[in-house]
Chains A and B, each alone.
Chain A
Amino acid sequence: MIRSVIKRDGRIVLYDQSKIAEAILKSLQATKEGDAADAERIAHAVEHYLIDQGCEDAPPRIEQIQDAVEYELMQRGFDRTAKAYILYRANRTRIREANTSLMRTIDEITNVDARNSDMKRDNANIDGNTAMGSMLQIGTAGAKAYNEAYLLTPEQAKAHREGDIHIHDFDFYSLTTTCTQIDILRLFQGGFSTGHGFLREPQSIQSYAALAAIAIQSNQNDQHGGQSIPNFDYGMAPGVAKSFAKAYTRKLTESLEDLLDRENELDSVKRLVNEASAKTGTTARLEKDEEEFDGAICQLLCENYPITAEQAAHLIERARKRATRQTERDTYQAMEGFVHNLNTMHSRAGAQTPFSSINYGTDTSPEGRMVIRNVLLATDAGLGHGETCIFPIHIFKVKEGVNYNECDPNYDLFKLSMKVSAKRLFPNYVFLDSPFNLQYYKAGHPETEVATMGCRTRVMGNTFDPTREISFGRGNLSFTSINLPRLAILSKGDEKVFYQKLDEMMELVAGQLLDRFEIQAEKHVYNYPFLMGQGVWLDSEKLGINDTVREVLKHGTLSIGFIGLAETLTALYGHHHGESEQMQQKGLEMIRYMRDYCDRKSQETHMNFSLLATPAEGLSGRFIRMDQKRFGSIPGVTDREYYTNSFHIPVWYPISAFDKIQLEAPYHALTNAGHISYVELDGDTANNVEAFESVVRCMHDAGIGYGSINHPVDRDPVCGYVGVIGDVCPRCGRRDGEAISEEKLRELRRLYPGVPTFCGCE
């Protein structure tokens, strides 16, 4: 007789034959091969088998018992049940191992300094050393373990685990979608609710800017990707108009009161302003309908006050001038507050600053121009101690006829943007004249202007609803990237084999994206109180709170990404597309092939499949580590710590800026889910804006979709110097980590206005 059993964790418990019978019965029932009596008989036989093995003296382990069950099932001809039992065991083992590895992961999150844990630095925007950052990472680890064990097919799980593909934002697999372009103009009309309270329609540029930050923060909690406003200039312009109208009335009142030596004329002037509005059908506008409106006001003032027409005209002129100045100041402060807000606010359990982006540059109204000018100036000034703002990403929309040429109405702002970017790294540039962007552009319809989700995501075409090829209210649903270099390595130089493997991999990814969509589509409006509840997502305003979001989600995109084109070409053909025209053709062929697949898949499913040039410096490390382990170090392929970003020419390859742009531009046309090209400039470009501009213009002319220029921006927090710092700070002369004396600092403060003050040394 067997008395006890050794459990997996080493504990010894009483032997209970009925538990064995129960497990066997479950398998028998699943295959319909037997009943409780069969289960009882097999359990009995298992016990005898174990006794024969000597288990009366030494208690059996769980694994031993399970082996015995398998043996007896097969002996007795319950073949299908034996198979089911084996699968069940394997699955339990997988989950158990996932649990163990989950506990190890949580242990690392809890106890290891983020500086020593690569895993904790995977997302540079989360501080893994803080309480909320760690809590978020623990949640992430738990969700990933669950999603892999329960939501992926074994094939998908294997591909993801082994690095054939990478399912991005995998922790959110069952929860939400990636991103949306938030149309704030529409959102603010009539006010909106954050899910934690209702906000009335804003009435000044300060409130507009504050609410824009709140909108970004609210949406950050409903989706897992970045937040973007596609129409920042158009969206903020009404705030400027409201501020101006108020300032106009106030300044006019004050001038009038001064002239007549009276008090309390505000209500009376307000009445006149309303009357003038009714008469002219316009309001006090910045640089618009001035003659008409001011003329009407002039007449009313003369009728209602003891003043001459000349006096009235003078009052109005002065009021207008002062109101303009006041509005400009207010707008600057509003933009300064907005930028400060986005750099300091926290979201997602307090662990993350929202990944925010704003697009602007094409609104030519005086109000829109004022917004653009001041958001640029506020960014140029930097944060409290002159620090470069990390958020938001600024994206300047470049368009001929609007801001690109000297005769264009916003040319001055385009120039200003380059001066700021040469110092602060933002704005980036999206080029509306590139053919694949221009095809959607309709003048006077800002929603047809391509806007990017800062890191690169782009949504324009719409197979699901071709009448809505717009950027507003849409975004990416999810994306998964393919490890292209691995396919090339496995193909051993055989192009045909490579394309076969690529086909299979794209098919696997497309299926996985659709599976994920099924999960996302079953969510309800109440799962996204802001995104769907406030009508931010296109057509969601037509849904009730308990409706599922399936149909409206189809406006979004399912994207297939890729990384390491350069390494792929090297593995297949011996060199990459920066090295020969022939390789450039091979590269374009390959990416066009992937794009064609996405287009076909879109037609087939009436969903928006698109091709993404994945932003993948982090992922590139994950893929290549696995490939090094598997294939060793292959020169030009696996011999670095990262795979090259999407279709980029490798960062280490010497090439001129102009050649790089020419080579990368054609890939922008193919990657309709998003792309970005970088140019690295040396030295302090703030002192060489002409060079900076020549690169931006080259990008425009070459047909780049989205580009940005990198240059070193260093800052010494002690003396406040911003620019390029080598080993020694050019302003205060200290080395990294060295101290300077208080006297020195006081002396510097006399020389430079931007030296920070610290109360301890005053």
Chain B
Amino acid sequence: MSAMQRQSIVGKDVSFERIRRITGYLVGTMDKWNNAKKAEERDRVKHGLSKNA
């Protein structure tokens, strides 16, 4: 039984999963990313769909 399953209230200390793509591969959570990758992900800006964003 996982820690989550033993709680009478559910989800304490359970983090959201944030799936991101890095070096072409998806990664389930960013916990295992190295610092440069984390920084790169943090700095990404969104690309608008209009011609002059």
Contacts and interface: CB of A to CB of B under 8 A. Distances in A.
B53 A718 contact: no
Given A393-B24, A616-B23, A742-B10, A640 B17 contact: no
Given A124-B27, A388-B26, A655 B34 contact: no
A390 B27 CA distance: 6
A761 interface: yes
Residue of B17, B31, B34, B37 with most partner-chain A CB within 10 A: B34
Interface string A733-760: 0101111111001000000000000111
Contacts of A128: 32
Contact of A742 (B4, B8, B23, B40): B8
A718 B35 contact: no
B5 to A, nearest CB: 4
B13 A124 contact: no
Interface string B1-32: 11011111111111111111111111110011
Contacts of A618: 23, 34, 36-37
Query: Which of A428, A624, A736, A739 has the most C-beta atoms of chain B within 10 angstroms of its own C-beta?
Result: A739
B40 A681 contact: no
B37 to A, nearest CB: 5
Contacts of B12: 737-739
- Among B11, B32, B33, B52, find the residue whose CB has the most chain A CB atoms closer than 10 A: B11
A696 to B, nearest CB: 12
B32 A114 contact: yes
Given A115-B31, A737-B13, A714 B19 contact: yes
A621 B19 contact: no
A618 B24 CA distance: 12
Contacts of A745: 10
Contacts of B9: 739-742
A691 interface: yes
A440 B52 CA distance: 36
Contacts of B28: 387-388, 390
A454 interface: yes
Contact of A455 (B24, B31, B49, B53): B24
Contacts of A426: 26
Contact of A759 (B1, B13, B39, B43): B1
Given A393-B24, A455-B25, A642 B36 contact: yes
B30 to A, nearest CB: 9
Nearest to A457: B24
B26 to A, nearest CB: 5
Given A118-B35, A127-B32, A680 B46 contact: yes
Contacts of A653: 45
Interface in A695-720: 695, 708, 710, 712-718
Given A455-B24, A691-B49, A716-B16, A640 B39 contact: yes
Contacts of B8: 742, 760-761
A729 interface: yes
A617 B10 contact: no
Interface in A621-635: 621-622, 624
Contacts of A712: 18, 20
Contacts of B34: 118, 121-122, 124, 618, 621
Contacts of A499: none
Contacts of A695: 49
Given A617-B22, A620-B36, A761-B8, A651 B43 contact: yes
B8 to A, nearest CB: 7
Contacts of B5: 758-761
A759 B8 CA distance: 11
A655 B48 CA distance: 7
Interface stretch (A258-266, A591-599, A656-664): A656-664
A740 B10 contact: yes
A710 B20 contact: yes
A654 interface: yes
A710 B19 CA distance: 10
B32 A708 contact: no
Contacts of B15: 736-737
A740 B45 CA distance: 33
A656 B51 contact: yes
A641 B35 CA distance: 8
Contacts of A526: none
A102 interface: no
A676 interface: yes
A624 B1 contact: no
A427 to B, nearest CB: 12
A367 B21 CA distance: 31
Interface string A636-654: 0000111001000001111
A355 interface: yes
A159 interface: no
A285 interface: no
A736 B16 contact: yes
Given A124-B27, A618-B37, A680-B46, A654 B53 contact: yes
B10 A758 contact: yes
Contacts of A694: 49
Given A390-B27, A691-B49, A761-B10, A729 B43 contact: no
A738 B11 contact: yes
Contacts of B48: 656-657
A369 interface: no
Contacts of A681: 46-47, 49
A454 B25 contact: yes
Contact of B11 (A455, A654, A718): A718
B27 to A, nearest CB: 5
B25 A393 contact: yes
B4 to A, nearest CB: 6
A461 interface: no
Contact of B24 (A642, A676, A717, A758): A676
A258 to B, nearest CB: 47
A305 B53 CA distance: 73
A34 B2 CA distance: 73
B43 to A, nearest CB: 4
Contacts of B7: 739, 760-761
A715 B19 contact: yes
28 contacts: A121-B33, A127-B32, A390-B28, A391-B26, A425-B19, A454-B24, A455-B23, A640-B39, A641-B35, A642-B36, A651-B40, A651-B45, A652-B44, A654-B53, A655-B53, A656-B49, A656-B51, A657-B47, A657-B53, A658-B51, A708-B24, A714-B18, A716-B16, A729-B16, A739-B12, A742-B10, A758-B4, A760-B8
Given A426-B26, A718-B10, 18 more contacts: A118-B34, A122-B34, A124-B34, A124-B37, A125-B25, A617-B23, A641-B40, A654-B45, A679-B47, A680-B47, A694-B49, A714-B16, A734-B11, A739-B9, A741-B9, A758-B4, A760-B8, A760-B10
**7 nearest interchain CB pairs?**
A621-B36, A455-B24, A656-B53, A760-B5, A718-B11, A641-B39, A657-B47
Interface of B: 1-2, 4-28, 31-37, 39-40, 43-53
Interface of A: 114-115, 118, 121-122, 124-125, 127-128, 355, 387-388, 390-391, 393, 425-426, 428, 454-456, 615-618, 620-622, 624, 640-642, 645, 651-660, 676, 678-682, 691, 694-695, 708, 710, 712-718, 725, 729, 732, 734, 736-742, 745, 758-761
